[in-house]
Amino acid sequence: MSTLASPLPVTGSNLNRPESVIALADGRLYAGDKEFGVIRVGDRRDPAARVDWPFEEFVPNGIALLKDGTFLIANVGPEGGAWRLTAPGKVEPFLGEGEGMPATPLNYLYPDAQGRIWLSLCTSNKPRTLAFRSATAYDGVIGVVRPGGRMQVVATGLGFSNEVRVDPAGRWLYVNETYARRLSRLEILPDDRLGPRETVVEFGRGTWPDGLEFDAEGGVWVTSIISNRLLRVDPESGRSEVFLEDCDDDAIAHAEEAFTADRFTWEELGIGRNYSLRNVSSLAFAGPDLRTVYLGSLFHQGLSTWRAPVAGHAPEHWNYGPTVLD
């Protein structure tokens, strides 16, 4: 393991837990925010736009942009649920128990080109730290819902299901399983069912996969919390290559020892905050050539910015119009 020789450039400031990032073709950039739900990066933080969250322990995690300009927010707090930001500071329920979604932490949500929303419910363990243990980690669930419908569970038994995305061909749903330490995929079948889970790659020492994105050449880019890694995976061969990392061997050795002994806690999870990438959790390709990468993180106040050797794949929301934050 090695630390960065010098910190990457940073875009934006005063963000609070920018775990998830959305970039658009015209240069607009949005990030999740613990106080504001979603914030347009570069805008002044208006105190009046702080969200009055419906639960004491509401933790905005993954965010998504809909065609109507509203944002979806996944609550990874214990009450879970998908919420919609309809105006600065204003949220309303989008999916909850009435739509078949259990009151368990929702990690991520992904609207696809077919009008479906894929949902990653990382664990039903209470407290959530039980999902960090090998004996109780494999209760992650993937659900899917169509407009006006109820959530249908389409995959179970995942090792803390984290970000999910449909591949550019529309054939596979990819999912990072953070504490199973693997990238998996499931074939999308008729009637929105999923086929058996296939392992794309099992990660080794120092990698706990969190965010993922596709590039224009078919590669899958994965972020790793704790080690602050950015990796590119060949989905056919399973080969992975590390492009960035920002941690040191002693810190990783401590995390590995705790993980192996089933003593892994929030302390180990937060190790990455001590380095310049601040526990990198997600990425978004951006810029005219889709080679600018914005990195979200759990503890940064801005987005670390890097130039990729290949272009990203343009996401579904790439050319969407004005949002409720514009």
What is the model's pLDDT at position 184?
A: 98
Encode pLDDT of 34-82 as tens digits.
999 999 999 999 999 999 999 999 999 999 999 999 999 999 999 999 9
Helices (H), the chain: 249-260, 266-269
Q: Domain residues of the chain, as ranges?
A: 10-307
CATH of domain 10-307: 2.120.10.30
What is the model's pLDDT at position 134?
A: 87
Sign of CA pseudo-dihedral 295, 280, 104, 198: positive
- Gap between the Cα atoms of 83 and 67, Å rounded: 16
pTM over 0.75: yes
Cα dihedral 218, 151, 320, 289 in deg (nearest 10): -20
Strands 208-214 and 194-202: unpaired
Encode pLDDT of 197-226 as tens digits.
999 999 999 999 999 999 999 999 999 999
295 forms beta bridges with: 283, 304
Instruction: Give the max Cα distance, the chain.
Output: 50
Confidence band, pLDDT 50/70/90 cuts, at residue 1: confident
Confidence band, pLDDT 50/70/90 cuts, at residue 247: very high
Strands 194-202 and 182-188: antiparallel
Non-local (6+) Cβ contacts of 44 within 8 A are none
**CA Rg value for the chain:** 18
- Phi then psi for residue 305, to 5 deg, are -130, 135
Encode pLDDT of 163-192 as tens digits.
999 999 999 999 999 999 999 999 999 999
